[in-house]
């Protein structure tokens, strides 16, 4: 398979919440023409796929994307050439979860949180989604607030109940985050904790790596290599991290880090759709237009991937085996420093797409059309 073919079959999943209004704790800036409901979010996501050709799935967030009829929503997506990707649960916007959800000291609250996940599994059945994605806000703000160890036991039991409810084609994908909203100790702060819980659950439990969820200076590609080695890298939540969990456009803060991550993916043969790694975006576009922001992000992932595919694997192994430190480093840097934009333009043309997706989107008139048609768009969920 040529590099061209490998690039052509890479897919990137878009988050529904990227298309709604979003902001920070200080201000949500409303943009004109944003979707008023999940149907319109999917329509906007389909635009990103239309111009990039590599974004055929949309993750949903429950209850932000609550509808009466999920079969109908899935049919709407199919009609626009996309499908429903991961179903994200939400146990962070209910007063009952102030002290935690799956780890809460009260059995009743844990039961409620488990029941929410069972509802999400029903949504998966209706939409054909295969990934149930869990990110928990659970954790402690103060030493002594609760037992760190008891919370791990409760977490294991709650996860077991959810895992047992999955259908055979479903996966549970578990995200970690080192801080926020809890600041002393999150209950799943790191990849090691997520991995231990996944190993206890079974083969269909996998770790989600959000690139914004690490301490400054963390070597993320090391974690990628480690999880791939264990066969438990289920998905990425791609975004950029300047200072914390910024959720800004992937590849903006540190394109070299993104390349290093994709280099590990390519080296392990994990780019293939059959590898089980779901390349998702987890982003918000607070001040830039959302559809072009998603197109830019998809292109950034593609560029990092194309560069990673350009690494001369034979020359690299030869230099590494010979102990040629600078030679091996040079092979990697040669690939990184190659301008792959002409290659990607060629790829798009070979697929009948415009070589410049952002220009093509702008010329389409879609942005003006949604501003005229949609009044009173919805927030992404944050701050709602
Ligand atoms: C939160 O920090 C996580 O990144 C989650 O993936 C979260 O569910 C996502 O940002 C959408 O709410
Ligand atoms: Zn995330
Ligand atoms: Zn996050």
**Dihedral angle, C-alpha 294, 297, 299, 300, nearest 10 °:** 180
SS3 for 367?
helix
Q: What confidence tier does 383 reach under pLDDT thresholds 50, 70, 90?
A: very low
- What is the rounded distance in angstroms from the CA atom of residue 357 to the CA atom of residue 349? 11
Mean per-residue pLDDT, 328-340: 98
- pTM for the full model? 0.97
Tens digit of each residue's pLDDT (9 = 90 or more) over 196-245: 999 999 999 999 999 999 999 999 999 999 999 999 999 999 999 999 99
Tens digit of each residue's pLDDT (9 = 90 or more) over 44-64: 999 999 999 999 999 999 999
How many whole angstroms from 127 Cα to the centroid of ligand 2?
21
The protein residue whose alpha carbon is closest to atom 3 in ligand 1 is 135
Sequence-distant (≥ 6) Cβ neighbours of residue 16 within 8 angstroms: 38, 41, 42, 45, 58, 59, 60, 61, 64, 65
How many whole angstroms from 372 Cα to the centroid of ligand 2?
32
Instruction: Determine which of 210-219, 240-249, 285-294, 372-381 has the lowest per-residue pLDDT on average.
Output: 372-381
Note the pLDDT of residue 43: 98
Note the pLDDT of residue 113: 98
- What is the rounded distance in angstroms from the CA atom of residue 334 to the CA atom of residue 342? 16
User: Is the shortest distance between the CB of 175 and ligand 1 below 6 Å?
Assistant: yes
**Count of structural domains within the chain:** 1
- Which ligand is the nearest neighbour of the Cα of 238? 2
- What is the rounded distance in angstroms from the CA atom of residue 226 to the CA atom of residue 192? 10
Note the pLDDT of residue 2: 87
The protein residue whose alpha carbon is closest to atom 9 in ligand 1 is 282
241 within 8 A of 212, measured Cβ to Cβ: yes
Q: What confidence tier does 154 reach under pLDDT thresholds 50, 70, 90?
A: very high
Mean per-residue pLDDT, 92-112: 98
Here the CATH number for the domain that contains residue 178 is 3.20.20.150
Sign, CA dihedral 358-364-365-369, equals negative
The protein residue whose alpha carbon is closest to atom 10 in ligand 1 is 282
Whether pLDDT at 168 is above 80: yes
19 within 8 A of 34, measured Cβ to Cβ: yes
Mean per-residue pLDDT, 344-353: 97
Classify residue 383: in a domain, yes or no: no
Classify residue 237: in a domain, yes or no: yes
Classify residue 384: in a domain, yes or no: no
Atom of ligand 1 nearest to the CA of 247: 10
SS3 for 58?
strand
Whether pLDDT at 336 is above 60: yes
Classify residue 379: in a domain, yes or no: no
The strand pair at 83-88 and 233-238 is best described as unpaired
Note the pLDDT of residue 195: 99
Domain holding 357, by residue range, is: 8-373
SS3 for 48?
helix
SS3 for 113?
helix
Sign, CA dihedral 245-246-247-249, equals negative
Atom of ligand 1 nearest to the CA of 88: 8
Note the pLDDT of residue 379: 67
User: Is the shortest distance between the CB of 354 and ligand 1 below 6 Å?
Assistant: no
- Which ligand is the nearest neighbour of the Cα of 17? 1
Q: What is the mean pLDDT of the chain?
A: 96
Note the pLDDT of residue 384: 38
Classify residue 382: in a domain, yes or no: no
Sequence-distant (≥ 6) Cβ neighbours of residue 259 within 8 angstroms: 304, 307, 308, 335, 336
Atom of ligand 1 nearest to the CA of 15: 11
Whether pLDDT at 377 is above 80: no
Note the pLDDT of residue 380: 67
């Amino acid at each position: 398979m040529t590099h061209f073919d490998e690039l052509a079959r890479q897919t990137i999943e878009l988050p529904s919440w990227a298309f709604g209004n979003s902001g920070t704790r200080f201000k949500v800036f409303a943009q004109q023409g944003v979707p008023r409901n999940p149907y319109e979010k999917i329509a906007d996501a389909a635009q990103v796929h239309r111009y990039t050709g590599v974004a055929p799935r949309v993750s949903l967030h429950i209850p932000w994307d609550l509808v009466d009829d999920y079969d109908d929503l899935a049919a709407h997506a199919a009609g626009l050439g996309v499908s429903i990707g991961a179903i994200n649960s939400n146990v962070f916007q209910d007063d009952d979860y102030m002290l935690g959800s799956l780890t809460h000291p009260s059995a009743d609250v844990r039961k409620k949180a488990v029941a929410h996940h069972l509802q999400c599994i029903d949504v998966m059945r209706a939409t054909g989604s295969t990934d149930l994605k869990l990110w928990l806000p659970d954790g402690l703000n103060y030493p002594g607030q609760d037992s760190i160890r008891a919370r791990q036991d409760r977490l294991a039991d709650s996860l077991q109940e959810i895992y047992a409810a999955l259908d055979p084609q479903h996966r549970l994908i578990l995200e970690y985050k080192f801080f926020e909203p809890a600041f002393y100790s999150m209950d799943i702060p790191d990849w090691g904790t997520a991995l231990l819980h996944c190993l206890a659950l079974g083969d269909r439990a996998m770790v989600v790596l959000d690139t914004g969820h690490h301490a400054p200076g963390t070597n993320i590609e090391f974690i990628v290599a480690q999880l791939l080695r264990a066969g438990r890298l289920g998905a990425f939540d791609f975004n950029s991290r300047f200072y914390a969990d910024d959720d800004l456009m992937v590849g903006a803060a540190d394109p070299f880090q993104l390349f290093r991550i994709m280099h590990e993916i390519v080296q392990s043969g994990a780019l293939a759709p059959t590898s089980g790694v779901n390349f998702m975006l987890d982003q918000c576009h607070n001040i830039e237009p959302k559809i072009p922001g998603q197109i830019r992000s998809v292109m950034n992932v593609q560029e990092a991937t194309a560069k990673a595919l350009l690494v001369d694997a034979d020359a690299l192994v030869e230099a590494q085996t010979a102990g040629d430190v600078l030679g091996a480093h040079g092979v990697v840097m040669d690939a990184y420093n190659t301008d792959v934009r002409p290659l990607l333009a060629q790829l798009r043309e070979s697929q009948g797409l415009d070589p410049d997706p952002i220009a093509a989107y702008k010329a389409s008139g879609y942005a003006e059309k949604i501003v005229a048609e949609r009044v009173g768009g919805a927030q992404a969920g944050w701050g709602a």
